[in-house]
Structure 1
Amino acid sequence: MCRACPSRRWLLGALAAVPLAACSENVETGRNQLILVDDGQLAGLADQAWSDLRGKTPLLRDPEAQARVGRVGAGIAKATGRTDLDWGYAVFDSPDVNAFVLPNGKVAVFRGLLDAVRSDDELAAVMGHEAGHVVARHAAERVSQQLAVQAGVSLAQILLSEQAGENADEIAGALGMGAMYGVILPYSRKHELEADVLGLTLMEKAGHEPRAAVAFWERRIAEAKGQPNVPEVLSTHPADATRLARLREAVQTSPSASGGRG
């Protein structure tokens, strides 16, 4: 076995030190996270992304709908305690049954979602989920994981270049695929489940009924029955059955489970 050159030894040491230097506990999730980027960096990128979205995607011309989303969203935002963020909401004129959040607290809701929810409680379930991503710092964790994977693959490529020769790129590519299916995608599915559970807590703090989240997803899953699905192992999101089971379990353990609301 050949001895690594000083530069390679330095790279190995630096890469090994990164997780120790950047690992911190998130009080919202109760687990450690690898964070290599700060919230300020992501917020700047998110500001630009939000500006681009508003410039390219038409807003829904319905003041009542915009006000409704803003009202429900404001309650969820207050429940997060993240007063450092400039939370903002917009309903875009698209049939997609979807919503997403940026790490700067800007939430996009599509017209299709408003058509799909049957109450403010169901809307709060979706918006609570999106806010859950923010308080859990999922965006920072995802970017950090991707940076770490890229650094690891690049380092492997350097270390393999002499021994593997022309096969180094193929081996590095295989390592990258392994990281994608072994780290990136599993964590993405974990993030979605965490956001679901955090969303239940946030919507309840904001005065909404957590069981509405279960009702919404039960209906959405029933409507999608028979449609082709990507296998869970290849998806960024957990399987519908996994997601629904976790939601039901979390609702059963929520403070309002015993008596509900009148």
Structure 2
Amino acid sequence: MMTMLKSYYMIQNMGILKQLMITVNSDLFQPRNSRQIELVKPNLTFWTTVSNMFRGVTSISIFFWATYPIIDKSTQQRRLPFLAWYPYDTTVSPLYEFTYIYQIIGVSFIAAAAVSMDTLIAALNMFIGAQCDLLCDNLRHLPGEEPDFHRTLVKCILHHKEILRFARDTNNFFNWIVLVQFFISAASIGITMFQLTVVAPLSNEFFSLVTFGMSIIIEIFIYCWFGNEVEIKVITERQI
């Protein structure tokens, strides 16, 4: 349900996202020299690392979900990875096998959509922070003579206005998505912790719940970390 709501809001705001992508590729937002390229590299590297970690933990969680009925020998009772009601008998072959495969494909699709949307939102926040770094660097290295000083200062002012507009549009793009995400993630962590108390310790199902809980924690961490980075860099920009 969470992924469906996030997908709905993303599709509804697709026009804003397309405009954001145009702004990202504009000349005003590009690094001007090798120093600025090196300045933004750590932001991109950290985003890439966290995104890959998020994808890895999510993939491991799906693997445990897909295999625990087999490894724990639950297939003898025709147990599916997820409890669900279907208008047919899921314990009869080949309906059991078809339903089993359907559930795994479905949860893989949901996980891929959720990871893609979360990492996209994190990338937008990371990009806002990187633009603040570039603007601060431009202000620190203003030319000392006219007319270069005046021309560069005007570009910095235009850059600042574009960053504010980009941040405003980004917030309009994902504000409802973040609201839904935090509400559902908090509930998911609570339910997962409860389920850990009723499953067999160190079983495949136990590890599936552990990895799922880790993926939700990383998901929340992505929003909090990159959002906090934007706040810190905006404050630094104002001080300069």
- TM-score, normalised by the number of residues in structure 2: 0.28
Larger helix fraction of residues: 2
Q: Which has the higher contact order (CA 8 A, sep 6+)?
A: 2
Which structure features the higher share of strand residues? Answer: 1
| TM-score after normalising by structure 1 | 0.26
Give the structure with higher Rg (CA).
Answer: 2
